[in-house]
Structure 1
Amino acid sequence: MKLITRFILIYLIITVIVLGIGGVISYFIIKDEIDRELTWEFMERIDRVTYLLEHGRRFHPRRNVDGDRNLVVHQLEYPVEERIEVGDTLIYSDRLEQSEQNVKVSAYRNIDGRSYYISTYGAMIEPDDITEAVIKTLLWILGMQIIGAIGVGFLVSGRLFKPFRETLNKIANFKLQKKEYVPAEKTGVKEFNDLNRFVEEMTRKAVSDYKNLKEFAENASHELQTPLAIAKGKLELLTETPLTEEQYKYVESLEKSVKKLSRLSESLALLTKIENHEFENNESINLSDVIKESLEAFREFIALNNLTVETEIEDDVHINMHPVLADILWTNLFQNAIRHNVENGKIRIHLEERKLVIANTGEDPEVNPDQLFERFRKAEQSSESIGLGLSIIKRIVDQNHLSIVYTYSDNWHRIEIRLK
């Protein structure tokens, strides 16, 4: 839900609550005011009759005054205490042919030694009529409030929130690889200015950290390769010199460690590049051809390890991915199947439009299968693997919005990648 929509809904909910409370209050105020006005009007009638009586006017007993059906004056035969009584009464209406509620004001007066009863009444506005009038008024007000709220909402959304939307678009399009921070633009709203300044500071720091990290990773990888290459060359020369069997084993072990360290450096540098999204120019890759070409290139290596490869590859299976990442993805998958296989083992490759499955025979994994995609996690802790192959595969899969599942059953390791 958009911010302006939520704002309008909250505003309308509060408006309905306020109008509801206001309607109840208005009902009682209007009713009280009408009753008060009717009472004052009837009191004026009584005062007028009293004045006429004081000036010698005589009224026929128990007769309406001057044809006024709502005014009755008659003389009492006994003295009374002067008082005024206000109450409701039911009077039959010829026009409506039913009894209607009326306000009745009665007065007892002593004038020139005579006692009089003066009574007047009139139809009062019924509560239902007041309620109907109040509801109609409130509905009109609510209707205008809704129209006004929607109008203001479009105005606010279109103009006031324009800088906010522009900032969101800049954040959405921000890419570290461009090494450009999002500059803060001034607006007429303090909160938006604060937001833009924060975004500028955040992106400026992110770009700076990215540059430093990228330079460190590249420099570390480059600087490590040189001494490693020298050490490797020296070790190769050393193997050509007369050595005892024990010395030769030490040199061979050291040479393996140097090679492993070299692979580790290259893999970490590659993993850093993948996580920094340096491979984003995706294109349609024929995965079928990539796999077939790779199998041809690894033919001798497969034979050297006495492995049998069974394939079921559909033609022209395409994925949208950076070419380098596609090659790294498959190479790591296939090398992983070879490295963690057994003597005279098997590899099965199945590729179709929606999935890629590669399975290989192998020993039981020594760690939880769910942890194998983490860095430096290996199925066999004693193996020469550096533990980054599956981690690199997982990063490539995640970056391209694919899914990967690893399972182990009946001495078979199985990795399935959902392509669509």
Structure 2
Amino acid sequence: MKLINQFTIWYLGISVIVFLIGGILIFYKLESEIDFEQGRELERQLDRYARKMESMDDPSILSKDRLEIRELPLNQALVPFQLGDTLAWHEPLEQVERQVKAGRSYLINGKHYYMSTYNIMIESDDITETVVQTMVAIFLLLLIFIAVTSRLVSKKILQPFHSSLTKIKEFTFKENQPLVFEPSRIEEFEKLHEFLNRMSARMLGDYKIVKEFSENLSHEIQTPIAVISGKLELLLNSPITDQQAKWIAASHQSTQKMSKVVHSLATLAKLENQEFEGNQQVNLSALLNKSIADYEELVAIKQISLHQLIEPDIKIEMHPNMAEMLVDNLLSNAIKHNEKPGYITIEATPSVLKFRNKGEKPKRDVSEYLDRFKKGNPNSESIGLGLSIVQQICRIHGFTLEYQFIEEEHQVTIQLQN
């Protein structure tokens, strides 16, 4: 959910609560004000009638439908102003309605009179209906206003955020430049920009140190490995015992494996740091056929039958070196983890690349083999980095990699088009 939508939902939720509380307060305030003003008005009417009666010989002529005049004993105490309600006939509505009634007594021309009058009462239902209609109308207007203005306002207020997000997405180690953001008048964005600038500068420094270390290590370790391999080959060609030959062969095999590990780790580091640039149109069909031809002798030695279901002239957009690494690692993995005799089936279409080979049942979840140095047989010649390199190449190009073991078959499927 977008930030502006979350803000809007929270604001509307708070507005609903405020409107409910405000509506209840307005209802009780209106009700008390209306009752008070009605009482004041009825009291003023009674006072006017009392003043008129002072100049009249016969007060009874003032009696009307809504005015009641009754003479009380002179020695009776004055009745203070009283306000209540009663049921009376309402002419316009032609029905009995609940009405507010007011009364008090006056001493007029030496006589004691009690007068009362009444008027239509504004009921709670009428007040509630008015308040609800008003609040709903205001809320709808607020909703329309927010819907119209939130997008316009958010574009202006959140523009520095979107600009910063774009710069973060475009940040790469290849440019070797820390993040630099446009100045913002919003304090929170300025703090965020300052933090991101410091963090990117520190990341570049750490990356440079690690890169130099890995490059130096990879370079420096290759020389002693080459020397050791050369000396071991010389020893193998010298007069030695069978036991010594076995030890020397094992040592030579270990040095070759060490060389492969160093080379593969260096390749993975380059892939993760996105040091391969310049994607091109690569002919996947031709690349697969070339790789199959390169491994033809090894496939024959291991008694593996190879089946090809490759559509002609398949073009994909990727770096040529990475495309070659992808195909070589997939084919090499299928050969190493096969049986004797066994088979490999390669299927390739513009949307899917699939390798299937016969092999032993995995001893663990096959998804773990995509991690570094994870392999089914610890004693195998594999160094456990082939599928990790394949997975990293797929991530860089947006391909989807799936590894399954179904019906005695290892199946590696790559969706070339998402």
When normalised by structure 1's length, the TM-score is: 0.89
Aligned to 1:419: 416
Contact 1:60/1:74 (<8 A) preserved = no
Within the candidate set 71, 75, 87, 2:71 is matched to 75
The 3 A distance-change label for structure 1 pair 412 and 150 is closer
Contact 1:104 1:121 survives alignment (8 Å): yes
Map 1:67-106 → 2, pairs under 5 A: 68-76=64-72, 80-83=76-79, 84-106=81-103
Change (3 A) 1:387 1:136: closer
| Distance in 2 of aligned mates of 1:366 and 1:35 | 85
- Deviation track 1:246-276 (CA, whole Å, cap 9, x = no partner) reads 3222222211111111111101111111222
Quick one: distance in 2 between partners of 1:396 and 1:89?
Answer: 88
Query: What SS does the corresponding residue of 2:377 show, helix, strand or coil?
Result: coil
Cα distance in 2 for residues equivalent to 1:282 and 1:38: 85
Q: Distance in 1 between matches of 2:55 and 2:403?
A: 116
Partner of 1:12: 12
Query: Counterparts of 1:347 and 1:121 in 2: how far apart (Å)?
Result: 103
Residue of 264, 269, 274 corresponding to 2:271: 274
Distance 2:408 2:119 in 1: 101
- 1:26–1:362 distance in 2 versus 1, CA, 3 Å: closer
Q: For 2:368, which of 362, 371, 377 is the aligned residue?
A: 371
Query: How many angstroms does 1:327 deviate by?
Result: 0.9
Equivalence for 2:227: 230
In structure 2, relative to structure 1, the CA distance for the partners of 1:58 and 1:3 (3 Å cut) is farther
d(CA) in 2 for partners of 1:158, 1:337:
53
Bigger mean CA deviation after superposition, 143-152 or 116-125: 143-152
User: Percent identity over the alignment?
Assistant: 37
Deviations 1:41-81 (A, max 9, x none): 2222333444455x4633344x534xx54323232468543
| Cα deviation 1:293-345 (Å, max 9, x = unaligned) | 11122223333333322222221233332221111111111112222333343
SS at match of 1:319: strand
Which residue number corresponds to residue 31 of structure 1? 31
* Structure 1 counterpart SS, 2:184: coil
**Which residue does the alignment assign to 2:314?**
317
> Residue in 2 aligned with 1:166?
163
Equivalent residue, structure 2, for 1:348: 345
Instruction: Give the 3-state SS of the residue equivalent to 1:270 in structure 2.
Output: helix
Seen in structure 2, the aligned counterparts of structure 1 residues 46 and 408 have a Cα distance that, compared at 3 Å, is closer
* Offset at residue 231 of structure 1 (A): 1.7
Structure 1: tracts of 5 or more residues without a match = none
Give the Cα separation in 2 of the matches to 1:289 and 1:331: 13
Match of 2:2 in 1: 2
C-alpha distance in structure 1 between counterparts of 2:164 and 2:103, whole Å: 75
Q: Deviations over 1:371-410 (max 9, x none)?
A: 2222212222112221211222222233333333334456
Cα distance in 1 for residues equivalent to 2:167 and 2:17 = 40
1:167 partner letter: S
Give the C-alpha shift of residue 128 in structure 1.
4.0
CA distance in 2, matches of 1:309, 1:155: 62
- Residue matched to 1:338: 335
Shifted more, 308-317 versus 361-370: the winner is 361-370
Structure-2 residue corresponding to 1:292: 289
* Aligned-partner SS, 1:341: coil
Partner residue, 2:153: 156
Q: 1:34 and 1:350 mapped to 2: Cα distance?
A: 85
Separation (CA, whole Å) in 2 of partners of 1:200 and 1:237: 56
Q: Residue type of the partner of 2:15?
A: T
Between 146-155 and 246-255, report the one with greater CA deviation. Answer: 146-155
> CA offsets per residue over residues 124-180 of structure 1, 9 Å max, x none?
334344334434443453344345544652453132222122111111222223222
- Distance in structure 1 (CA, Å) of the matches to 2:277 and 2:398: 13
> Separation in 2 of the partners of 1:70 and 1:271?
99
Q: CA RMSD in A?
A: 2.7
1:255 alignment counterpart = 252
Whether 1:381 and 2:383 are equivalent positions in the alignment is no
**How far apart, CA to CA, are the structure 2 residues paired with 1:414 and 1:56?**
115
Q: 1:228 to 1:139 in 2, by over 3 A?
A: same
Q: Which amino acid aligns with 1:419?
A: L
Q: Which one is further off, 209-218 or 106-115?
A: 106-115
Give secondary structure in 2 for the equivalent of 1:312: strand
Deviating more after overlay: 345-354 vs 27-36: 345-354
Unaligned runs of at least 5 residues, structure 2? none
Q: Provide the residue aligned with 1:59 in structure 2.
A: 58
- Alpha-carbon distance, 1:212 to partner: 2.1
Q: Distance in 2 between matches of 1:363 and 1:134?
A: 77
| Partner amino acid, structure 2, of 1:356 | L
Report the counterpart of residue 121 of structure 1 in structure 2: 118
Q: Give the whole-Å Cα distance in 1 for the aligned partners of 2:363 and 2:412.
A: 17
In structure 2, what is the equivalent of residue 304 of structure 1? 301
Aligned equivalents of 1:15, 1:307: Cα separation in 2: 72
Q: Which amino acid aligns with 1:44?
A: R
Question: 8 Å contact 1:367–1:378 — kept in the other structure?
Answer: no
> Aligned AA for 1:166?
S
State whether residues 184 and 199 of structure 1, in contact with CA within 8 Å, keep that contact through their aligned partners in structure 2.
Answer: no
Q: Distance in 1 between matches of 2:356 and 2:148?
A: 62
Check whether the contact 1:80–1:109 (CA below 8 A) recurs between aligned residues. no
Which stretch shows the higher mean deviation, 280-289 or 163-172? 280-289
Residue 177 of structure 2 is matched in structure 1 by: 180
